[in-house]
Amino acid sequence: MQRLPASATGMAVITIFRLIFSSNLMNLRLTQKTDLDPIRKVIETAFSDEEDKVIVNLVADLLSETTTPPIKSLVTEIDGEVVGYVSYSPIFSHRDAGITGYILAPLAVSPYHRKKGLGSKLIDEGKRMLSEDGIDILLVYGDPNYYGRFGFRKETAHSFVPPYPLRYPFGWLGVLLSDIVVGEIPMKFDCVTSLHKPELW
Ligand SMILES: CC(C)(COP(=O)(O)OP(=O)(O)OC[C@H]1O[C@@H](n2cnc3c(N)ncnc32)[C@H](O)[C@@H]1OP(=O)(O)O)[C@@H](O)C(=O)NCCC(=O)NCCS
């Protein structure tokens, strides 16, 4: 058998190592401000041309806005490359309803890495993190066919009145994270400044 030169053997070993592990090196972590550029790439490939500029600006705003309680966001990486992103921001009730809540927005996974459960991980980890913080409800404005998989229901969200009229009211959904009972009285709330833009609703 012909022997490969040492350097070629080394390259072959590295290539095989990469092939074996490339699909396994998934990492989920809190976002840092320096993640904006890689997240921008995910957004630009995940959303349509009409939507992506608005969403990229939203991500930049969310990463730089400071609130109490804090905006929390996560990225998933595969082999060190950011391929998914989600942000969770607090809501502020107009009256003291004794309920704490967050909004999930936006969520995106690169088209090259979809259907591997990355979107689910970003949502499940967000729900876990917020439950641990004692948050009562998580709201989202999105596709019921997708978010329904994670327990989001329109009945749970209907008492929560967003800051702007909704273009797609059927997409307004919520999931309870605690055993709190949500009353029937409509509860107006404000969101963080980054989301306080009529074009996002
Ligand atoms: C929605 C999104 C984040 C899902 O990411 P993902 O990593 O592929 O999600 P998961 O792997 O956890 O789940 C994939 C499953 O959800 C389904 N799914 C994805 N989008 C869906 C939708 N809008 N309605 C119903 N099902 C949907 C997929 O068909 C797949 O189904 P399967 O498990 O039966 O194969 C991704 O498709 C995306 O970035 N889309 C563009 C941006 C977007 O729409 N963001 C959310 C706003 S509603």
Domain residue spans of the chain: 30-200
Does 104 contact ligand 1 (Cβ within 6 A)? no
Say whether the peptide bond before residue 69 is cis (omega within 30 degrees of 0): yes
Residue 142 main-chain phi, psi, to 5 deg: -165, -160
Does 120 contact ligand 1 (Cβ within 6 A)? yes
Does 115 contact ligand 1 (Cβ within 6 A)? yes
- pLDDT at position 10: 46
For atom 41 of ligand 1, the residue with the nearest CA is 46
For atom 5 of ligand 1, the residue with the nearest CA is 119
Q: How far apart are CA 154 and CA 55, in angstroms?
A: 24
Write the DSSP symbol of residue 148. Answer: G
Q: Does domain 30-200 have CATH number 3.40.630.30?
A: yes
- The mean-pLDDT minimum among 22-36, 78-92, 103-117, 174-188 falls in 22-36
Q: How far apart are CA 37 and CA 13, in angstroms?
A: 32
Closest CA to 104 of 55, 71, 153: 71
Per-residue pLDDT band for 23 (boundaries 50, 70, 90) equals low
How much helix, strand and coil, in percent to the nearest 5, is found in the chain?
40, 25, 35
Look-up of token digits 């329904």: 148
Q: How far apart are CA 150 and CA 127, in angstroms?
A: 9
pTM of the model: 0.89
Q: What's the pLDDT tens digit per position in 178-196?
A: 999 888 888 899 999 999 9
Q: Which two tokens stand for residue 174?
A: 């919520």
Residue 198 Cα to ligand 1 midpoint, Å, equals: 25
147 alpha carbon, distance to own chain's centre: 12
